[in-house]
Structure 1
Amino acid sequence: MGYQTTAAKMNTIFADLSKDYLIYAPKRYVGDGTFVHIDTIRYGEITDLSEIEFAEKSNYSFKEVLLPISETLFYFTENEMKEADAPKKGAIVFLRSCDLHGLKRMDTIYLENGAVDTYYKRLRDNTKFILMGCESSFENCFCVSMGTQTSDDYDAYLKVTGETVLVDSHWDALDAALAGATPASVIPDSVTANETVVTIPETVPQTLFDDPFWEDYGNRCIACGRCNFVCPTCTCFTMQDIFYTDNGKAGERRRVWASCHIDGYTDMAGGHAFRNDKGQRMRFKVLHKVNDYKRRFGTHMCIGCGRCDDVCPEYISFANCINKLNTLVNDTAKEEN
């Protein structure tokens, strides 16, 4: 059901919903970028629609709402263990179509890939998602190539134009709050083309796993992990046990974001490591995003948001890497024939 209402009315509705939910959306943080004159757009709590950055792509994804950067799982002493309490409030998250597809990838990893992750599930079950449309494509986006430019798997869609707000609601609580609003036909904005176009190979022969192609990235990548941290579908983490200084036998276990690109990620007992070379790490990430994941779950892991290209300090383009890989696959097939 679609509605037309006012920004003031929606702010009142969200103020009422905030009794039970924390509301997160992309916000502009002035001067918080690499330099003092550069802003950062990242997720934070909002209390007013005017705080939401609709016109630009967020530098970071929504994922830290469901997968906190550092999350305490349980507390322990030498005799007992207590699981950390769940948040008292649920969450409402504003996000774009590509990120909604990223949410499905996270669900697959944490809810369907073996045992259910209860810490993720208890946050996921109490979160509502509000779609933000895209009137035009952003720099480095290739969502159309990945088929993630549209989605109808949302609790609500919201478009703000001045003081007018259009809402498409799939949420009973929001329907009730909008009772009496003007009915309207509301279709989410979405793009039909991106400047960046990506062609993904159907399969990648194992003979290319050790191809010199990957060495180019070993020479350029600095293993900072930024591409992983901004990606809405990178879900790797490590565990840390924190012991309290006033009692060395008590502490807490935390789940903390990790990255397949950074040094030490694959270190094992005895000093062994799976991927010391940065080119090997790039290969692992690329093939996981556009080959391995699809073979197992039926869809590509990458959603085409382009944030990895946006953030890389060495100007490594994931989109260009995929296209080069596709060319390499095709050339190899021709040689074999």
Structure 2
Amino acid sequence: MGYQTTLAKMNALFADLSKDYVIYAPKRFVGDGTFVNIDTIRYGEITDLAEIEFAEKSDYSFKEVLLPISETLFYFTENEMKEADAPKKGAIVFLRSCDLYGLKRLDTIYLENGAVDTYYKRLRDHTKFILMGCENSFENCFCVSMGTQKSNDYDAYIKVEGHTVLVDSHWDVLDTALTGEAQTIVIADSVTANETVVTIPETVPQTLFESPFWEDYGNRCIACGRCNFVCPTCTCFTMQDIFYTDNGKAGERRRVWASCHVDGYTDMAGGHAFRNDKGQRMRFKVLHKINDYKRRFGSHMCIGCGRCDDVCPEYISFANCINELNTLTKEEI
């Protein structure tokens, strides 16, 4: 149901919701970038809609709300183990259409890919998602090519126009709170074209797995892993056992983000590593995003947000890589 209300009333509503939910949204962190006077737009807790950066793309994705960078799973001593408590509050997350598709990818990996991940599920079950529309395409986005530019699978859509707020609610809590407000038709903003366009090959021939094409990335990639960490659909992690200094037999086990590009990711006992070459790591990531995942689950893992292109210090373009791979595939066929 669509509503028109005021910014003041909407802020009062979210202040009330904050008793039960932590509200996250892309916000500007002034001077927090790589260089002096460079801002960062990343997710943080908000208390006012004015804090939300609607006009620019976030440098980082929403995923750390559901997949914390470092998450304690349980505590242990030499005699017993205790699972870490779940957060006392739920979460409300503002995100864009492509990220809603990214959420589906996370759900598939953690809820449908074998046993259900209970740590993910307990956060997911208590999180509501509010869509932020895109009036214009951002740099390096190719969501239209991936079919992720428009979504109706949200708990609410909110658009702020000065002191007026338009709401399309799919959440009974908002419907109840907005009873008495002017009702109207609210259609979420979405783009119809991007400057960046990609064409994904239907299948990738086995002969291209060992193609010299990947060597170009081996020479350029510095294995920093930034492309993985900003990606909404990269889900890899490792485990760390932290032992307390006061008692070396007690501690906690943490799940920590990992990256298929970073050194040591494929290391095994005995010193063997499956992908020491950075080109091989690029091949693994690319084919997982546009080939392997679709063969298993029916949709591409990549959502076309373009954050990997935005963040790469070596200016490696994932979009260009896909298009070049598509050209090579046609030549092979």
TM range (shorter): over 0.9
Q: Deviations over 1:34-56 (max 9, x none)?
A: 11211000000000000000000
Letter of the 1:189 partner, please give it: D
Runs of 4+ in 1 over 6 A off after TM superposition: none
* Superposition pairs of residues 294-313 of structure 1, within 5 angstroms: 294-313=294-313
Partner of 1:175: 175
User: In percent, how many aligned pairs have the same letter?
Assistant: 89
Q: Distance in 1 between matches of 2:206 and 2:121?
A: 35
Q: Deviations over 1:118-162 (max 9, x none)?
A: 000000000000000000000000000000000000000000010
Q: Deviations over 1:270-296 (max 9, x none)?
A: 000110000000000000000000000
Partner of 1:284: 284
Q: Distance in 2 between matches of 1:324 and 1:314?
A: 18
Letter of the 2:11 partner, please give it: N
Q: Distance in 1 between matches of 2:58 and 2:20?
A: 25
RMSD (Å), alpha carbons = 0.3
Normalized against structure 1, the TM-score is what?
Answer: 0.99
Q: Deviations over 1:72-123 (max 9, x none)?
A: 0000000000000000000000000000000000000000000000000000
Partner of 1:186: 186
Partner of 2:246: 246
Give 1:18 shift.
0.3
Give 1:263 shift.
0.2
> SS of the residue aligned with 1:24?
strand
Structure 1 gap ranges (5+): none
Structure 2 gap ranges (5+): none
Partner of 1:274: 274
Q: Deviations over 1:164-213 (max 9, x none)?
A: 10000000001000000000100000000000000000000111100000
Q: Deviations over 1:288-321 (max 9, x none)?
A: 0000000000000000000000000000000000
Partner of 1:37: 37
Size of the alignment, in residue pairs? 333
Partner of 2:89: 89
Q: Distance in 1 between matches of 2:39 and 2:243?
A: 37
Q: Is 1:162 the counterpart of 2:189 in the alignment?
A: no
* Superposition pairs of residues 208-247 of structure 1, within 5 angstroms: 208-247=208-247
Normalized against structure 2, the TM-score is what?
Answer: 1.00
Letter of the 1:270 partner, please give it: G
Q: Distance in 1 between matches of 2:156 and 2:29?
A: 26
Partner of 1:71: 71
Q: Distance in 2 between matches of 1:129 and 1:93?
A: 5
Partner of 1:141: 141
